[in-house]
Structure 1
Amino acid sequence: MKGIIRASVAVAAVMAHGPVLAQQSSPNSAVASDGAETDDGLEEIIVTAQRVAESSQRTPVAMDVVKPEELVRQNVIRAEDLARTSPALAANSGGGPTTVFFVRGVGNATVNAYSDPAIAFNYDGVYLGRPSSTSGVFYDLQRVEVLKGPQGTLYGRNATGGAINVIPNRPKLGETAGSFTLGYGNYNWLTGQAALNLPLGETVALRVAGSVAQRDAFLSDGTGKQREYAGRAQIYAEPTDALSLRIGVDFAHQGGSGASGYYLGTVTPAFGANGFAGYAYAPTGFSPNQGLLDPRSNALQSARFIAQVGRAGAVVDGVPYNDNDYWGITGELNYETATGTFTLQPAYRESTLDYTFNGVFRSAGTREKDKQSSVEARWTGKIGSAVDYLLGAMYFDEKIDVPNAFYNQSNLMPIQNFATGTESWAGFGKLSWRPVEQLTLTAAGRYTSDRKRFDGLSSVYILFCGNPAPPQDICPTLPLMPSIRNTAELESFYTSRGIPVTPVPLYVLPPIAGGSQTAPFVLRSPIAINAGLKNEKFTYRLAAQYDFSPRSMIYASFETGYHAGGFSFARGVETYAPETIKAYTIGSKNRFLGNTLQVNVEAFVWKYKNQQYSQFGYDLGTPPATVFLTRNIGDSTIQGVDLDVELLATRNTLLSANVQYLDTTYDSFIYFTPNQGLPPNTTCGFAPTTQTTPGGTVNVFRIDCSGKQAFNSPKWSFNLNGQQTIPLGGTKLVLQAGTRYRGSSYSSADYLPYLRSPATFVSDASVTLASADDRWFASVYVFNIEDNQRLVGGTVNSAGAISASAEQPRTWGVRIGGKF
């Protein structure tokens, strides 16, 4: 850690002084009276990462800014597509409509309604509480800001790992303008976007925009179809020079289906002369495009023997679908006075979800209603010429109602209904002081109070063929968990066939009490939670920035972050505590050679406490149930260096490189799994022990993964891109090519070698013919030229088959567009 900091300080200092010489030796660069160069050079990008409009090169915050043309070029339509644009970001689709984000190896797999993401997603300035609500927003945008590291003072809630800001284009006064893009590619991939800006008098403007995206399935079983459309309307008014008002309404529909995944391999306990001899892994050799519903996949699955139910024959037959609707309304008022500017932004958003998915399940699904209200108020101003300040407050209220959710694993099925809510208050502020012209000192703080309520019941049904302990009972005709999603019908299904449904394991009772060592039964094991949580925390940021020249600066900061605790439907681990982070950063942002070379570097060290992690695992019931839960796994250290370089080599040649190096370690990573005889399948150290739970003392394995690499954190990641423009009179030809590299990494707490994502290159290229003034264009493109489908993650199902998912295959197509 000390080596990284020392090296970064030296590099930053050299780079910060370098531009002075470079600028002095460039006779072709003009300098304006304010000291800023006025030659063409690289584009200046205005961001609002610190809640005020400023150049990205003057903002002492680590961020990747994705411009709208890059979003179009990379075909960013859904939230997980953003991973193609930033080496620091990992994003993949979870069950149904959810998206899981990791930034620099930090995040958590939030795929249900009772856990919160560690990466704050903000759309049009509004924090979105649900990761399922990030659909239908990637069109007609100004930019996307990926903020790296904790955002513990200025942004929403729970931003311990970073924030993603999606910022739409806003109406412009006095301007009649429009634009469109239309694309078609393999898999019948049709995409389209359009926007229209209209003046309504001198002081009012209207902007409407929409998008559509539909695509056939990537997988052989017909899953992974895309059927989405969205629209947005905004009206903006400036009734006076001091007052501006904006109201935006948006909606989106998500149809199609999630991808089922594929079978990576099988895992089987092996036994020798001395008993248990380990777990044998056998790869299937299946293509990542061979879905779980494919007959070849189900032939593998149905041949697997499930010891608990004494039979084989389980299949995946639940067909995924999405029928999800989203809408929201946002208001923004800005009032400028001689002493400062007041901003008020109220918002309301609503989602209605109905989706099913499979993957590790035979079938699973959720019906859900989400409502969130929020209001944020800010006051920005100056005290003299040396002090800038910002004061703000935020209120957030979220209500989630889930009348039905089910997770059918063939031998086990929880059926859930619950209501949960979050009420969060926060006050925040930032003060920047310039004691001398080139030095800026900043102090910022935020007090957050979170109250959560959870009321619900998870009725867990576990199917047994007699006693699960050896000798093995055989039940070749025992019906596996049927495709039923309510408790009454499920219990009737089994009792009508003479299979008792009981709250007590029958194999522990004597025959006189109705017990049996060999007869099948269904154990009913309800988990009820009716509880509240209150978390509160003060987080803060201290920073210093020194400007060596108008285009060169160095900065350093210390920041803390906080992520609230919550609930899980898991016996013995029903709640989890907040996680916290301390982040140390030093960096430098520079423009050289007459504004044609940009070099930004940042080094960082993050220290996590009580880090939260969400995964499939066992609860601590008797007997245990397979559940998806969040728990505090311990502490971690994440450190590394980011290097971003952009070079305008000639007027028509643009080159860029974004490189990230990560060194991650779980300093303390301990969790427990039930001891059911066989040891856990993990490369981490483990030992048998006991644990006391509300239901009594249970036998468990203590698993210690301390010292392991953090999840989704490849040591090296980089994006390389090049663009060459060839003028052709009134038109131009634009050639673009790029590649992204992600080193190998893990995504599960077992640290099994066959679940390690391999290092991959994924390249793209495009050729575009456009008018010289960019009024129209036509292009052909190809993504993933190598057809490398990187492993995203995998989970072992009840039959010992590993259900995995992978990135998209090679795609290609054409695009046209225009504007007026």
Structure 2
Amino acid sequence: MSAKLLVSASVGALCVFFASSAAVAQETQPVPAGPTQDTSQGGITDIIVTAQRVEESGQSIPIPVDIIEPAELVQQNVIRAEDLSRLTPSLAANGGGGPTTVFFVRGVGNATVNGYSDPAISFNYDGVYIGRPTSTSGVFYDLQRVEVLKGPQGTLYGRNATGGAINVIPNRPELGETSGNFMLGYGNYDWLTGQAAVNVPLGQDVALRAAGSISHRDALQSDDTGNQREYAGRLQVYAEPNDQLDVRLALDFSHQGGASSSGYYLGAVNPTFGPTGFAGYEFVPTGFSTQQGLLDPASNALMASRFISQVGRAGAVVDGQPFNDNDYWGVTAELNYETDVGTLTIQPAYREASIEYAFNGVFRQGFTKEKDKQASVEARWASDLSDSVDYLLGAIYFDEDIDATARYNQQTLVPFQEFTTGTESLAGFGKVTWRPIEPLSLTMAGRYTSDKKTFDGVSNVYILFCGNPAPPQDFCPTLPFAPLVSTEDEFRAFYTSLGIPITPVPLFVLPPVAGGSQTAPFVLFSPIVINDSLKNDKFTYRLAAQYDLSRRNMIYASFETGYHAGGFSFARGISTYEPETIKAFTLGSKNRFLDNHLQVNVEAFLWKYKNQQFSQFGYDLGNPPSTVFLTRNIGDSTIKGVDLDLEYLPAENTQLSANVQYLDTKYDSFVYYSPNQGLPPNTTCPYTPTTQSTPGGTINVFEIDCSGNVAFNSPKWSFNLNGQQTIPIGNDYKAVLVAGTRYRSSSYSSADYLPYLKSEATFVSYASVTFGREDDSLFVSFYINNIEDNRRLIGGTTNPAGLIAASAEQPRTYGVRIGGQF
């Protein structure tokens, strides 16, 4: 039976169940639902997490996890997944083109920006693994919490989780409770935000919860890009027909409109020449504001002034308007059946995404239209063998299908792509914890994963030339750049009408009798056809020991492994890449002191990364090679560091916290190749001319060796400092003052390791003041984020004109929020 049929049958059966459960709702007594917090001892309260697939206090488990609470999400205007990086030092989450988010945890991750590669960080929404990084937004409202699990999750969250997992957990319906809350905010850039939720009982043992959100913002860039038009909704029904059974059915949807920021021009890279020939590359800063978009007239004037030698002329502009028109929806059900010998949990889910978006960056316009479908069924059994032994067993089936078209207009090169890809993954997992003596717990966990993946696609690549690209320079002052058209037929018709030949063989290699010419312009047609499949199997495991020094203090040590399946690239000769693996050693301690008013958690870690996958713009092994975005296995790395989390309540109404991370990263081996087309590569890494054998013959390449460099997106020092002071006003009102700052030291995000593409060390601070009733039934809050207006460089790539198109973090934002609850 296929996963889709199984999920449909499971969800359908649960819908029938809900129809009948209301009839018996009056016959049983309500039972409290959902996790609770332990506040009996006063001071710092425990937060219940599900990092091990069961409800536990975050202070009692031997797992490094950052817990982000709902108030923090609202304070930082977290709308999309990339906004999470402002809240935890271990996570770097950057928005790519359109809805894509790229995740890194402690330097582990990859730039997954298309439908044929998978992220290395597992994103789980409401207990369901989300396969596409384009589908990770539209969920950040009415939440219990967000968990960021640091390190490989090779057992309970095992699929493609070499770096960690992000778990987004919504609030669940509450039995016997009529309640609600709302928040409405307005700020600069005409930023309107809103959230609301209502909980309604439907009899004694059935409850409904409905929630929604909206974010409507004007452009952050001068070219009217970087705006938001987003809304989302969620509906859940929960029932407890008897003391043993509870069932929940959830439906959610979201729409993502507006447009991604086009980026800005950081500077120009110019080759320089001396008496003996090539002398190096010179970087010339533009001095442009980070908010001067690529479609801005001043930016296009600079672009148009740049000479592009391949087409023998200047005059290129960026005029492809970016946009998002993306819709997502999903349905999931959760059944928990508690018996005298254990608890059975079954969760079927089905999700779809219909996405259509355009973006800029190094492109005149990049465009993707994609239909994603995924279905999954997970089952878990949790039980105790005795007072000293508990265990969990589970299995998950995951099926994903993607159907997409894409085009990437780079002024001189345009690939038109059509592809389908599918993933079928089956995994079984288990965990057992043994307490041989009361303070000591020993845990063993394992997971076997089998991944089957298929890819069937065509990428027809068109490359524009003005004669022979070899010196002396040919000039074609009237040769049109690649037109901004929607279809391959339109592209061909455009150049055919001008009498410019489209040929699979460069004209300059043909004799004149065959139409060859050293000076005539032409369009090189280079088809890339990939029809391939992969099967990867891997057993991953975890060993952990925990010793409770007291009721509030413990130490732990663990060793675990992780695995990220291989995948595909639209690249001749290198169309597939192998799985990557990671081994992680952890030594940590979690503590409460000063009568539960000081919390100190510390963790030391060492990760060994093997066969690392790396995604970047590069060249395939065709003859001639084509510019492609590809993933390769580049080598190994070592990542080590220390993580310190502090929370302190010095007085009844004062709360201070600090999260500090120190990272020491190194690529033990990091080798990749770029074509040798005359000038050497622009990199600080050593390089050597060599050759590679390809299906089309031998080509000249540079071997680039970046071994010994630091890992990407891994600042050596990262910390968040936060403070909150509550001031009672009479008996019924209060004022709450909140302030904080985050610091990230310098880091790199590209394999060139160029100094001008280094993200410099940055402080970003925020503050808010809130006035409201003591019971939070009504409040008004004034906030400011990024007080310094520091816009840290996220990354940059050089376009055909030698200009670096870069992106940066959000500018200063400020505004007011009103809200309340009942």
> TM-score, with normalisation over the residues of structure 1?
0.95
Q: How does 1:489-504 map to 2 (within 5 A)?
A: 489-504=490-505
Task: Give the aligned CA root-mean-square deviation in angstroms.
Answer: 0.8
Q: How does 1:425-436 map to 2 (within 5 A)?
A: 425-436=426-437
Partner secondary structure for residue 309 of structure 1: coil
Verify: 1:69 aligned to 2:71, yes or no: yes
Q: CA deviation at 1:37?
A: 8.6
Q: Could you tell me whether the CA contact under 8 Å between 2:362 and 2:799 is conserved in 1?
A: yes
Q: Could you tell me whether the CA contact under 8 Å between 1:415 and 1:485 is conserved in 2?
A: no
Verify: 1:799 aligned to 2:804, yes or no: no
Partner secondary structure for residue 166 of structure 1: strand
Alignment size in residue pairs:
784
Task: State the partner residue of 2:257.
Answer: 255
Task: State the partner residue of 1:464.
Answer: 465
Give the distance between the partners of 1:147 and 1:107, measured in 2 at CA. 14
Q: How does 1:331-480 map to 2 (within 5 A)?
A: 331-402=333-404, 404-480=405-481
Give the distance between the partners of 1:131 and 1:448, measured in 2 at CA. 21
Give the distance between the partners of 2:819 and 2:629, measured in 1 at CA. 44
Task: State the partner residue of 1:194.
Answer: 196
Q: Could you tell me whether the CA contact under 8 Å between 2:39 and 2:45 is conserved in 1?
A: no
Task: State the partner residue of 2:663.
Answer: 662
Give the distance between the partners of 1:388 and 1:313, measured in 2 at CA. 70
For 1:538, give the aligned amino acid. Answer: F
Give the distance between the partners of 1:484 and 1:446, measured in 2 at CA. 48
Give the distance between the partners of 1:597 and 1:793, measured in 2 at CA. 39
Task: State the partner residue of 2:28.
Answer: none
For 1:660, give the aligned amino acid. Answer: Q
Task: State the partner residue of 2:222.
Answer: 220
Of 766, 769, 781 in structure 2, the residue corresponding to residue 767 of structure 1 is 769
Task: State the partner residue of 2:698.
Answer: 697
Q: CA deviation at 1:492?
A: 1.2
Q: Deviations over 1:22-45 (max 9, x none)?
A: xxxxxxxxxxxxxx9933101210
Give the distance between the partners of 1:198 and 1:388, measured in 2 at CA. 36
Give the distance between the partners of 1:637 and 1:302, measured in 2 at CA. 44
For 2:619, give the aligned amino acid. Answer: Y
Give the distance between the partners of 1:359 and 1:622, measured in 2 at CA. 27
Q: Could you tell me whether the CA contact under 8 Å between 1:37 and 1:595 is conserved in 2?
A: no
For 1:262, give the aligned amino acid. Answer: Y
Partner secondary structure for residue 470 of structure 1: coil
Partner secondary structure for residue 407 of structure 2: strand
Verify: 1:533 aligned to 2:531, yes or no: no
Q: How does 1:555-704 map to 2 (within 5 A)?
A: 555-704=556-705
Of 134, 146, 149 in structure 1, the residue corresponding to residue 148 of structure 2 is 146
Partner secondary structure for residue 473 of structure 2: coil
Q: Could you tell me whether the CA contact under 8 Å between 2:795 and 2:806 is conserved in 1?
A: yes
Of 272, 281, 284 in structure 2, the residue corresponding to residue 282 of structure 1 is 284
Q: CA deviation at 1:78?
A: 1.1
Task: State the partner residue of 1:93.
Answer: 95
For 1:556, give the aligned amino acid. Answer: A
Give the distance between the partners of 1:547 and 1:695, measured in 2 at CA. 64
Q: CA deviation at 1:776?
A: 1.6
Q: Could you tell me whether the CA contact under 8 Å between 2:227 and 2:261 is conserved in 1?
A: yes
Q: CA deviation at 1:698?
A: 1.0
Q: CA deviation at 1:277?
A: 0.5
Give the distance between the partners of 2:67 and 2:183, measured in 1 at CA. 21
Give the distance between the partners of 1:280 and 1:699, measured in 2 at CA. 25
Task: State the partner residue of 2:116.
Answer: 114
Say if 1:209 and 1:156 are closer, same or farther in 2 by CA, change over 3 A: farther
Q: Deviations over 1:114-142 (max 9, x none)?
A: 11000000000000000000121000000
Verify: 1:174 aligned to 2:169, yes or no: no
> TM-score, with normalisation over the residues of structure 2?
0.95
Task: State the partner residue of 2:22.
Answer: none
Q: CA deviation at 1:75?
A: 1.4
Q: How does 1:702-713 map to 2 (within 5 A)?
A: 702-713=703-714
Give the distance between the partners of 2:607 and 2:511, measured in 1 at CA. 56
Task: State the partner residue of 2:27.
Answer: none
Q: Deviations over 1:736-790 (max 9, x none)?
A: 1000000000000000000000000000000001211222211100000000000
For 2:240, give the aligned amino acid. Answer: E
Task: State the partner residue of 1:744.
Answer: 746
Task: State the partner residue of 1:157.
Answer: 159
Give the distance between the partners of 2:755 and 2:39, measured in 1 at CA. 53
Partner secondary structure for residue 298 of structure 1: helix
Partner secondary structure for residue 490 of structure 1: helix
Q: CA deviation at 1:627?
A: 1.2
Moved over 6 A (4+): none
Task: State the partner residue of 1:554.
Answer: 555
For 2:120, give the aligned amino acid. Answer: A
Q: Deviations over 1:135-160 (max 9, x none)?
A: 21000000000000000100151010
Q: CA deviation at 1:696?
A: 1.8
Q: Deviations over 1:479-525 (max 9, x none)?
A: 11001132211111111111000111111111112211110000000
Larger CA deviation: 724-733 vs 689-698: 689-698
Task: State the partner residue of 2:4.
Answer: none
Q: Could you tell me whether the CA contact under 8 Å between 1:143 and 1:166 is conserved in 2?
A: yes
Q: Could you tell me whether the CA contact under 8 Å between 1:37 and 1:594 is conserved in 2?
A: no
Partner secondary structure for residue 116 of structure 1: coil
Q: Could you tell me whether the CA contact under 8 Å between 1:145 and 1:164 is conserved in 2?
A: yes
Q: CA deviation at 1:73?
A: 1.4
For 1:223, give the aligned amino acid. Answer: T
Q: Could you tell me whether the CA contact under 8 Å between 1:405 and 1:485 is conserved in 2?
A: no
Unmatched 5+ stretches in structure 1:
1-35
Q: CA deviation at 1:99?
A: 0.7
Task: State the partner residue of 1:15.
Answer: none
Task: State the partner residue of 2:728.
Answer: 727
Unmatched 5+ stretches in structure 2:
1-37
Give the distance between the partners of 2:344 and 2:679, measured in 1 at CA. 63
For 2:444, give the aligned amino acid. Answer: A
For 1:70, give the aligned amino acid. Answer: E
Q: How does 1:782-797 map to 2 (within 5 A)?
A: 782-797=784-799
Give the distance between the partners of 1:302 and 1:572, measured in 2 at CA. 35
Q: CA deviation at 1:320?
A: 0.4
For 2:391, give the aligned amino acid. Answer: Y
Task: State the partner residue of 2:238.
Answer: 236
Give the distance between the partners of 1:607 and 1:93, measured in 2 at CA. 27
For 1:735, give the aligned amino acid. Answer: L
Verify: 1:776 aligned to 2:774, yes or no: no
Give the distance between the partners of 1:647 and 1:60, measured in 2 at CA. 21
For 2:786, give the aligned amino acid. Answer: N
Partner secondary structure for residue 134 of structure 2: helix
Give the distance between the partners of 2:737 and 2:150, measured in 1 at CA. 30
Q: Could you tell me whether the CA contact under 8 Å between 2:124 and 2:166 is conserved in 1?
A: yes
Partner secondary structure for residue 157 of structure 2: coil
For 1:170, give the aligned amino acid. Answer: R
Partner secondary structure for residue 720 of structure 1: strand
Give the distance between the partners of 2:523 and 2:195, measured in 1 at CA. 52
Of 311, 320, 323 in structure 1, the residue corresponding to residue 322 of structure 2 is 320
Task: State the partner residue of 2:821.
Answer: 819
Q: CA deviation at 1:617?
A: 1.6
Q: How does 1:291-310 map to 2 (within 5 A)?
A: 291-310=293-312
Task: State the partner residue of 1:14.
Answer: none
Give the distance between the partners of 1:673 and 1:282, measured in 2 at CA. 24
Give the distance between the partners of 2:591 and 2:778, measured in 1 at CA. 34
Q: Could you tell me whether the CA contact under 8 Å between 2:158 and 2:562 is conserved in 1?
A: no
Task: State the partner residue of 2:5.
Answer: none
Give the distance between the partners of 1:52 and 1:205, measured in 2 at CA. 22
Q: CA deviation at 1:695?
A: 2.0
Partner secondary structure for residue 112 of structure 2: coil
